[in-house]
Structure 1
Amino acid sequence: MLQKTITELEFTRHDLGGPWECWRSAKYTNHFNLPWTRVVLPHCWNASDAVDPDLPYYEGAGWYRTQLEIDSPYDDGRVCLHFEGTGQRAQVYIHTSEVGSHSGGYDEWTLDITEACAAYHAQYGEGPVPLAIRCDNARDLETIPSDVSDFNLYGGIYRAMHLVYRPAIDWGDVRLEPRLQNASAELSIHAELSSYVADAEVELKLQLLNAQGEEVAQSELSLPCWQGERSLLTWQIDAPEQWHPAHPALYEVHLQLSTAVGQSERRLKTAFRHFEFVPHGPFMLNGERLLLRGTHRHEDHAGVAQAMTEAQIREEFRLMKEMGVNFIRLGHYQQSELVLQLCDELGILVWEEIPWCRGGLGSESYREMCRRMLRNMISQHRNHPSVIIWGLGNENDWPADFEAFDQDAIRDFMRELHELSHHLDPARKTAIRRCAFCADIVDVYSPSIWAGWYRGLYTEYKKAALSAIQEHQHVLHVEWGGDSHAGRHTEDSAQGLEEIQAGQGADEQDGDYFLEGGQARASKDTDWTETYFCDLVDWHLKEQETMPELTGAAQWPFKDFSTPVRPENPVPYMNQKGVLERDMTPKEGYYVFQSYWATKPMVHIYGHSWPIRWGRLDERKYIKVYSNCPEVELFLNGVSQGRRLRDSQNFPAANLRWGVDLPAGRYTLKAIGYAVDGTVEDELTQSYQIESWGAPASIRIDQVNAEDGLSTVHCQLVDAQGIPCLDAKDFYRFSLAGGGRLIDNQGTARASRRVGACNGRAQITVDLNQQQNVLGILVEGLEPCFVNLSVCSQKNNTLR
């Protein structure tokens, strides 16, 4: 098999009357004003508008076109298109003839275009073959996921696309079955053939290499061509290396196939490990307890939405591993092959699920889509040793899409999916999150526990978790945490919690994500500061160390992501619960997790995105340091404030906090962490404001940074005396007149044209395009401010 990745296509974000409109005379296309632009794959047409504060994101059809150069090396071979992901539905045409379609935005699919290409050549002669693809993410209640899900249903060819040449006899699905048995292991190989030749002989050479690339098993077989799945062999392996997050030892299986019509090769990774969920107890891996330290991932990124590049995905997982993650739930859909490969290689255990998310239960076609996506997810990813759980649904107790909401029907269908999953893969567990009336059906259940955010106080977390462990046989708590607006901080993290009563439960209830109404809760009544988020995370992590029966927990999510149901958030249309911003900039909470989970020595002073603190001159302030070092020393303006020993149960910051008298104006903090084999350091400079302030009266431009044709404007709300309003969270709105463009719609606090203030601050960057530009800045109730950017020099300018 040979594969060529298709990297460029032409695209128009319009629906057409049919595929002929892709190819007919340009004068007609121009008449109907349909622009075609060249795009690079992967491509998502909602890269910008998913977080546009003023318009709903586009849900409809778009078309791609290209000319395929067909050059197969195989006589009588097959020509296929392989899609790693298309959103949300796709139809494929060779010239004007439809050759196939797919419904489902997240599973891989392959389309054989051999006959269609031959028919085109027979009619029009040799030469490039015109290919057109219509994708569609229009709303459809009879498909999954539901449009009321807390994430965008993106459109486009947002994963890789390949032109594949296959010999007439080729490998089909290959299933590896590794089993760890005390000090030994065995590996069974089962395979299907993709065959268009009858009565052929197949020569097979199978080889197993260990993590060091050494051969540990090898077999050669001569077989007649077969139909369906066939068991090829079972190898016995003595003293295998065991896969573990600390040392993810991977074996490689080489599969070589030779016939009279060609050769084909497959390379697959596998591993040997054994896991167990102890009833009402912990998670065991290879016979030892492993606390699952988890997070979540949505396939979403600033500027590209779902069309993340390989480099971006690899960087995201590097940051996860450096945070100390050993478990991930892929929410809420099948993700790319690269993601699973990275989890195998980095030692991250996986819960992967189908996108039956909210909305209820539809017709038979709806149910068949669920079954098909479950079959595809398992068949496409079951060879990955990192996978331990197949997720069957998420928040299926959330009605919306259908007039009738039948719990019994949902239970029956959930049971059907559970049985199908075990039939396809008996070695993995099934799970769901937050659907109490189905909790007894699946192997592992995750109740909704959002202590300190959607319900109650974070100090109630342990009680809620232990109660769930006692109630359900196997519990893995996924989704916890809270929103934080990057760059927003407070001197009092308890502000807004005064009316929240303990004992009201810790579960999320429908409507709790709204920013108004209902009982008091942190999600509605606090200011979404990084300060509060760090304390909430700190408390959860210290408590998790004291529960030997805990399997683990997964914070939601690793990175901020876009969502159509949160337009009023400080960054509109963003779920801001990540420990990274949407562009992968770490928030302060990232380092709290590192201080508990990471093994590499680290130290981090809280407040790198907090330029100005405030208070009285004689008011003692606390400096928090997050570190995994046993001892840390703090310096203020070069003067030691003493050493403190880390104690994870001494909240907050594991005893690494110092009460200091901050001087007015600028000062420098430095922390030194003393590890077993050396030291690590962190340093930051802040200012301390002792002047009190009144209501915001005007917008002050503090600085304009100009570099490489970009200008970044920094704003601050001040009162009538010009004193910065350090608790202001009013919304800024930016606009531009001139030949440049705002760098906005990125879904971050620094690149949104409508954004909530961070302690009165906001910023925006403009691509000047070598032209005159005027930036408009508006805060409701204040006089607008205008900045002429054409006169800015290529250095930092402080303006007053």
Structure 2
Amino acid sequence: MKKRLLILCLACLGMINNGLFAQETSPRKVFTLDEGWECRPITTVNRKAPFTPVTIPHTWNTSYIEGTTLYERKTVVYQRPLEVTEEMDGKRLFLYFEGVNSAAQVFLNRRTIGEHLGGYTAFCLEITDQVKKGENLLEVWASNAYRTDVLPISGDFNVNGGIHRPCHLIITGQDCITPLFYASPGVFIHQENISRETAGINVETHLSLKNKKQGLKLKTTIADASNKIVASNETGISGDIVRQPIQVERPVLWEGKKNPYLYTVTVELYDGNQLVDRMVQRTGFRYFSVDHEKGFFLNGNYLNLYGFCRHEDAVGRASALLPEDYKMDMELIKESGATAMRLAHYPHAEPMYDLSDENGIILWTEIPMCGPGGQAFTGLVDTEGFKDNARLAVKELVYQKFNHPSICFWGICNEILVSDGKRFVEYDNPIPFIKELNGLYKSIDTSRLTALATCVDQSYYLGCSDLIAWNKYFGWYKDAAPSASKFFDDCKNSSQGIPVGVSEYGGGASINHHQWPLSMEDRADSHFHPEEAQTFCHEGNWESFMKRPYLWAKFIWVFADFPSYMRQEGEEDGYNDKGLITQDRKVKKDAFYFYKANWNPEPMVYITSRRFVKRNNPQTDIKVFTNLKEVTLYINGKKIGTMKPDEMHRVIWKDIKLDEGRNTVRVEGKNGKENLSDSCEWYYIK
């Protein structure tokens, strides 16, 4: 085992250059520490529990997702050897953790070297003076146990414990672009004056200089997508922070999905003519605004923002995702036609931001300050421990994700409750602290807008953020979906000029539950969640939203089904089934195709209720989602009729009589000369 680990380290396997670190030609070296780990729980019953080999990323909460009812919030110790070779003499060594949930203590050779509170942002520790030549023992104590000084303290999702994101060993020279400034890249590209004529930026670089000698300089270049250098700046160094104004003439703007054009910013630290360190960051130049009456504008043009809220989760891996998981989700998001995404309810891992940059998806990203999600307590307590952790979360989120052009909105909180005299519990007043966090965001980044999501009277929150949005489930929990029209019109009229959006809406569905005729009575808390109910709910909401461009964004709850230990509803307890895709990503529910027909111009036709195979009613409506001009319905080869879709791309044949036994339902249409069709089989049994 030790020999294998040494070979891995010396061979530099796992070298990464995803922009957060460096390219292979840089003097900086980065090793991914994914192999060679083992872990065991810390318990009072069995202090000598055996170690189990694991690969990072890892969480111990996958067993819950694989079908057991156990959701463990505990402490687990991870350990592995760390070999320090002669080649590392005179170098600086850093441990970089992309995410340890929720609290981490790090030990080297049994001595504490640091800790971090918060499981969804990165942290970095220098170990240069703590290591010894040869083999060292690296230990990480990870705990997802509940505590009020670590966010989140509530929420309708599982907090999966472990080293659930990658970790790395970074090796630099004595002088470097520091990885210690809130575990950020150390390079911040401020977009100060962006237009189609010119892009005026200011590149701020944070350095860690041990030698403190003369002759150091910083060279920054900007290259276009063809790798042609279009602007540069070379500056002598007189301190630990260097700011370099640079102007790009006639820039190609980052236009969202239309043209997600990216530039490469390379910052190089030189000692004379010798390259000392290099940091590479991608960015896109864009400007945007939100109007109370007209909605969101990107580079001066209206852009209708709609899409999904997304949790980090995969079957059998929970939040310990692999690169292919992010790529799969992005492909599904692109297929739907979504233009935006809300990363709920915490900072997501780096690959999702990179993919959003590359594919032009506009992002709302937020800290994990979450309200109850159905629980009997709020998501905020007025203690210094809680508030310090929230402040840290804001700083880490902004500094670590600063250069991503896809991010337009910083989220402050989600469903934080306010004592309004209608509840049995009196909550600490959250408003002063929410305003403080809004100011903290603004003090770091003036180029983006702040937002918050509420489920209580918006009047409490007016003035707490640039934008406000609602988690409102019309048609699912209480009011019928058409009520959304009046509700949001009233919100807009009373928002004092603050733009209003939709941060969550939707309903649940099991692909194994079906009903006709459909009843929406007492649906939400039931263990029967027919797919037709979810679709009906989304159709009603979207009919209201599509006619209201002032809604600056519309986010569906939720992209895919995910585990939530507190849920006791739907087909299986412990799951939130409001996803438009199943947790394993294998089945897109009917509602997914409703949005695909409305959002994606690619020609399509889809028959709903296709999984409602066995039927005991001889008559049914047949609903089709399509963006074709017209489609024709056939049952068992017999033509029923041809219809044109309505404004929401629906075609509904009413009261169609089914044959006894098998019914082959087929719909056909044309896109120019291209024939498109869809079919399914139903069985009517008397």
Normalized against structure 2, the TM-score is what?
A: 0.88
The one of 413, 423, 430 aligned to 2:443: 423
User: Following the alignment from structure 1 to structure 2, what is the Cα–Cα distance between the partners of residues 71 and 673?
Assistant: 67
1:406 aligns with 428
Shift of 1:318: 0.9
Using a 3 Å threshold, how does the CA distance of structure 1 residues 241 and 285 change in structure 2: closer, same or farther?
Answer: closer
Contact 2:57 2:164 in 1 (8 A): yes
2:266 aligns with 254
Using a 3 Å threshold, how does the CA distance of structure 1 residues 90 and 677 change in structure 2: closer, same or farther?
Answer: farther
User: Following the alignment from structure 1 to structure 2, what is the Cα–Cα distance between the partners of residues 10 and 192?
Assistant: 32
1:89 aligns with 103
Q: Is 1:488 aligned to residue 513 of structure 2? A: yes
Using a 3 Å threshold, how does the CA distance of structure 1 residues 169 and 243 change in structure 2: closer, same or farther?
Answer: farther
User: Following the alignment from structure 2 to structure 1, what is the Cα–Cα distance between the partners of residues 323 and 533?
Assistant: 34
- 1:42 alignment partner AA: P
- 1:158 alignment partner AA: H
- 1:257 alignment partner AA: L
Shift of 1:676: 4.3
1:719 aligns with none
Shift of 1:356: 1.2
User: Following the alignment from structure 1 to structure 2, what is the Cα–Cα distance between the partners of residues 59 and 524?
Assistant: 26
Secondary structure of the residue aligned to 1:523 is coil
Using a 3 Å threshold, how does the CA distance of structure 1 residues 678 and 544 change in structure 2: closer, same or farther?
Answer: farther
- 2:490 alignment partner AA: S
User: Following the alignment from structure 2 to structure 1, what is the Cα–Cα distance between the partners of residues 539 and 340?
Assistant: 19
Secondary structure of the residue aligned to 2:650 is helix
User: Following the alignment from structure 1 to structure 2, what is the Cα–Cα distance between the partners of residues 555 and 460?
Assistant: 17
Which piece of structure 1 moves more, 594-603 or 236-245? 236-245
The one of 339, 348, 366 aligned to 1:353: 366
2:452 aligns with 432
Shift of 1:288: 1.8
Using a 3 Å threshold, how does the CA distance of structure 1 residues 95 and 404 change in structure 2: closer, same or farther?
Answer: farther
Shift of 1:13: 3.6
Q: Is 1:283 aligned to residue 283 of structure 2? A: no
- 2:639 alignment partner AA: S
1:479 aligns with 504
Aligned residues: CA RMSD: 2.4
1:549 aligns with 550
Shift of 1:463: 1.6
Contact 1:354 1:373 in 2 (8 A): yes
Q: Is 1:388 aligned to residue 415 of structure 2? A: no
Contact 2:296 2:303 in 1 (8 A): yes
Q: Is 1:626 aligned to residue 625 of structure 2? A: yes
Using a 3 Å threshold, how does the CA distance of structure 1 residues 98 and 177 change in structure 2: closer, same or farther?
Answer: same
Contact 1:641 1:658 in 2 (8 A): no
- 1:361 alignment partner AA: V
User: Following the alignment from structure 1 to structure 2, what is the Cα–Cα distance between the partners of residues 131 and 16?
Assistant: 20
User: Following the alignment from structure 1 to structure 2, what is the Cα–Cα distance between the partners of residues 36 and 412?
Assistant: 46
Contact 1:580 1:590 in 2 (8 A): yes
Shift of 1:397: 0.8
Contact 1:50 1:562 in 2 (8 A): yes
Using a 3 Å threshold, how does the CA distance of structure 1 residues 398 and 297 change in structure 2: closer, same or farther?
Answer: farther
Deviations 1:203-259 (A, max 9, x none): 43322222343332234x2513522x3212322322533422222111111222222
Contact 1:8 1:39 in 2 (8 A): yes
1:599 aligns with 601
2:571 aligns with 570
The one of 142, 149, 156 aligned to 2:149: 142
Q: How does 1:705-744 map to 2 (within 5 A)?
A: none
User: Following the alignment from structure 1 to structure 2, what is the Cα–Cα distance between the partners of residues 398 and 566?
Assistant: 23
The one of 221, 226, 248 aligned to 1:236: 248
Contact 1:183 1:240 in 2 (8 A): no
- 2:307 alignment partner AA: G
Shift of 1:113: 1.1
2:617 aligns with 615
Q: Is 1:163 aligned to residue 188 of structure 2? A: no
Shift of 1:567: 3.5
Which piece of structure 1 moves more, 247-256 or 375-384? 247-256
Deviations 1:296-326 (A, max 9, x none): 0111121111111110111011101110111
Deviations 1:363-392 (A, max 9, x none): 112111100110110001111111111111
Contact 1:48 1:304 in 2 (8 A): no
Contact 1:9 1:64 in 2 (8 A): no
2:683 aligns with 687
User: Following the alignment from structure 2 to structure 1, what is the Cα–Cα distance between the partners of residues 629 and 84?
Assistant: 63
2:284 aligns with 271
User: Following the alignment from structure 1 to structure 2, what is the Cα–Cα distance between the partners of residues 69 and 259?
Assistant: 29
Q: Which has the larger radius of gyration?
A: 1
Q: How does 1:774-789 map to 2 (within 5 A)?
A: none
- 2:340 alignment partner AA: F
Contact 1:73 1:165 in 2 (8 A): no
- 2:427 alignment partner AA: F
Q: How does 1:24-103 map to 2 (within 5 A)?
A: 33-49=48-64, 52=67, 54-55=69-70, 57-71=71-85, 75-103=89-117
Using a 3 Å threshold, how does the CA distance of structure 1 residues 614 and 392 change in structure 2: closer, same or farther?
Answer: same
Contact 1:150 1:563 in 2 (8 A): yes
Deviations 1:514-561 (A, max 9, x none): xxxxxxx54136932110111111222233222232323101110111
The one of 137, 142, 152 aligned to 1:130: 137
Contact 2:254 2:405 in 1 (8 A): no
Using a 3 Å threshold, how does the CA distance of structure 1 residues 457 and 14 change in structure 2: closer, same or farther?
Answer: same
Secondary structure of the residue aligned to 1:554 is strand
Deviations 1:614-643 (A, max 9, x none): 213xx3x22211122222222222333332
User: Following the alignment from structure 1 to structure 2, what is the Cα–Cα distance between the partners of residues 105 and 445?
Assistant: 26
Deviations 1:732-778 (A, max 9, x none): xxxxxxxxxxxxxxxxxxxxxxxxxxxxxxxxxxxxxxxxxxxxxxx
Secondary structure of the residue aligned to 1:115 is coil
Q: How does 1:291-310 map to 2 (within 5 A)?
A: 291-310=304-323
Contact 1:281 1:474 in 2 (8 A): no
Deviations 1:317-346 (A, max 9, x none): 110111011111111111111111111111
Secondary structure of the residue aligned to 1:356 is coil
2:658 aligns with 662
2:353 aligns with 340
Contact 2:626 2:651 in 1 (8 A): no
Moved over 6 A (4+): none
Using a 3 Å threshold, how does the CA distance of structure 1 residues 32 and 477 change in structure 2: closer, same or farther?
Answer: closer
Using a 3 Å threshold, how does the CA distance of structure 1 residues 240 and 331 change in structure 2: closer, same or farther?
Answer: same
Normalized against structure 1, the TM-score is what?
A: 0.76
